[in-house]
Amino acid sequence: MAKYKAPLRDMQFVLNEVFEADKLWASMEATQEVTPDLADAILEEGAKLTENELFPLNLSGDEEGCRFDQGQVFTPKGFKEAYQALSEGGWMGLGGNPEYGGQGMPKMLTVLFEEMLYASNASFTLYPALNNGATLLLDSHASEEIKEKFLPPMYEGRWIGTMCLTEPHAGTDLGLIRTKAEPKDDGTYSITGNKIWITGGEHDLAENIIHLVLAKLPDAPKGTRGISLFLVPKFKINADESLGDHNLVNCGNIEHKMGIKGSATCVINFDGSEGIMIGEPHKGLAAMFTMMNYERLSIGIQGLGLGEVAYQSAMDFAKERIQSRAPTGPKNPDKAADPILVHPDVRRMALNVRAFNEASRAFASYVGMQLDISKYHTDDTTRKHAANLVALLTPIAKAFITDRGFDATVEAQQIYGGSGYCSEWGAEQYVRDARIAQIYEGTNGIQAMDLMGRKVFANKGEFLAIFAKDVREFLQEVSGQEAMQPWVTALETELKRLESVTEAVIKAASENPEEIGAAAVDYLNLFGLVAYAYMWARMAKVAQDEVDADSSGFYAAKIQVSNHYLKRVLPRTLALEQQILAGAEVLMTLEEEAFYAE
């Protein structure tokens, strides 16, 4: 059976020892009251909630799924009670603005709680995750009147937000959307159109659903420059803020999916629904990116959470499963065979999963740290550098973490052998649930295009230079430590490889725009491996400093896993470099007709 315990020790290691969050929080007025004791208490309570309330519903929620009946959606048994516990505990507003009832916790902390949520029950977590993004968007772009009216009940969990972008004919290319917004005399808008793949578009968890909808005004320019953003509640809000009439927002159906079956993925029809414009006309997509970028990091964390629970469950299985003898002779001669972890190939899979999981946790926290700095730091230059790093690293956080998270669930499933293919062990569900994370919130290929095109080529490597400076400052700090020399040498080599490849692609793309798309996915993977090497170097440095005084074995294990990454994972950059430098011609010379069957 599946097993999950929140990895509190590793979370505290990343937060307190690797990134020294307490020093950062103490330096910024908005976070000065967040002490290590408070952070630890939040993580410990979060662990209790996710382990005891959400994880027991994961398998049953997958088996039952959501039910659609005459326009209504019913979530699996136990979801309503779990959602109530989440809301009553204040978890829906954990990172929210305190001015409107949120708790104002820093992103470095909330990403760790979010990992627990996804690991314990990914389907359930998508409901609060969308709400978190929606409240962030409203806090950033809505009028004071809208914020005062909508944020408190959304932080309380009484109301819950969604994101309505995609239409049947318009996925990535949002400029093609047809949903219309007609101005009305009272200052509101009549919204008409159809949206698909709307996570949490209809359900029975909250009393009202607040849809954030992209639509076009009658005089809208063509393409993405003509998109506006509207708030469309399921139920209208009366003057006294009680719920009023139904707002002609209707669910046409729910999707039947490969995984995340406890998450209601809906077709939503707006049949002349009343909407309120958020922000300025024709500027809706820019505002929506606030939510989209939040969700991209969140979905990256989904990949991490599923990789973690898949790893823990596989290792629990591996303790008991005995098969064959160790290559060097029996380890348990009193038994018929040895535990499967004596076999090098099983260890290869387990170490791959663990090395990527722990690096992903550190990387998500690193991105969270940059988000906190960009929001709260008093120095303008420091804030700007952090914001540029966030822009650079967000597509990596979404794509690389979810790719490695899916790999983790597959390798963890492989450790079970045939049992991993059978549903009662839970492993196959994690594979199914993790697969969607590579697809939604912008497919990973689109994330790679965003990284290569907008975040690297467009500014000729300016954002990369900020990241490289951060890495080299760390390398200078540890340059005199003998135990860190393998990392100093490897990380400088890989950073130079990344910079060299970047220069080559920028030069090639200046002459042929196809080079951006040809290089994009391999480039993102190369960047991800180098970024994770930086995370592992930072973790190894702390572990080396503490290992001699540690009797628990935690730091020694950290060093050993870091060595696996250094020696058996990081060399993948060599192949990626050659793939990138092969260029676009290899992809583009085959005639289009040759791709199709006769």
427-435 vs 122-141: helix axis angle to the nearest 10?
Answer: 30
pLDDT recorded at residue 260: 98
Q: Are 111 and 364 in contact (CB under 8 A)?
A: yes
pLDDT recorded at residue 393: 98
Three-state DSSP at 24 gives helix
List all residues 6 or more positions away from 490 whose beta carbon is below 8 Å from its beta carbon: 533, 566, 570
List all residues 6 or more positions away from 393 whose beta carbon is below 8 Å from its beta carbon: 363, 366, 367, 370, 467, 531
Write out 462-512 in H/E/C secondary structure. Answer: HHHHHHHHHHHHHHHHHCCCHHHHHHHHHHHHHHHHHHHHHHHHHHHHHHC
Instruction: Choose among 87, 99, 91, 118: nearest CA to 30.
Output: 99
462-478 vs 514-546: helix axis angle to the nearest 10?
Answer: 20
pLDDT recorded at residue 223: 92
User: One digit per residue, pLDDT tens: the chain, 598 residues?
Assistant: 899 999 999 999 999 999 999 999 999 999 999 999 999 999 999 999 999 999 999 999 999 999 999 999 999 999 999 999 999 999 999 999 999 999 999 999 999 999 999 999 999 999 999 999 999 999 999 999 999 999 999 999 999 999 999 999 988 888 899 999 999 999 999 999 999 999 999 999 999 999 999 999 999 999 999 999 999 999 999 999 899 999 999 999 999 999 999 999 999 999 999 999 999 999 999 999 999 999 999 999 999 999 999 999 999 999 999 999 989 999 989 999 999 999 999 999 999 999 999 999 999 999 999 999 999 999 999 999 999 999 999 999 999 999 999 999 999 999 999 999 999 999 999 999 999 999 999 999 999 999 999 999 999 999 999 999 999 999 999 999 999 999 999 999 999 999 999 999 999 999 999 999 999 999 999 999 999 999 999 999 999 999 999 999 999 999 999 999 999 999 999 999 999 999 999 999 999 999 998 7
Is the Cα torsion angle 56, 58, 60, 66 positive or negative in sign? positive
Measured distance CA(25)–CA(330) in Å, rounded: 52
pLDDT recorded at residue 598: 76
User: Active-site residue numbers?
Assistant: 441
pLDDT recorded at residue 360: 98
Measured distance CA(206)–CA(190) in Å, rounded: 24
Instruction: Choose among 218, 243, 217: nearest CA to 230.
Output: 217
List all residues 6 or more positions away from 32 whose beta carbon is below 8 Å from its beta carbon: 25, 26
Which letter does DSSP use for residue 420 in this model? G
122-141 vs 144-156: helix axis angle to the nearest 10?
Answer: 160
Measured distance CA(420)–CA(428) in Å, rounded: 6
The CA dihedral of 434, 439, 443, 448, to the nearest 10 degrees, is 20
User: Against a cut of 0.95, is the pTM above it?
Assistant: yes
Measured distance CA(116)–CA(522) in Å, rounded: 30
Q: What are the φ/ψ torsions at residue 259 (nearest 5 degrees)?
A: -150, -160
pLDDT recorded at residue 62: 98
Instruction: Choose among 244, 243, 240, 234: nearest CA to 275.
Output: 234
pLDDT recorded at residue 161: 98
pLDDT recorded at residue 170: 84
Measured distance CA(194)–CA(164) in Å, rounded: 9
Composition of the chain by helix, strand, coil, percent to 5: 65, 10, 25
Measured distance CA(559)–CA(481) in Å, rounded: 15
**Number of helical (H) and strand (E) elements in the chain, helices listed first:** 19, 11
pLDDT recorded at residue 380: 96
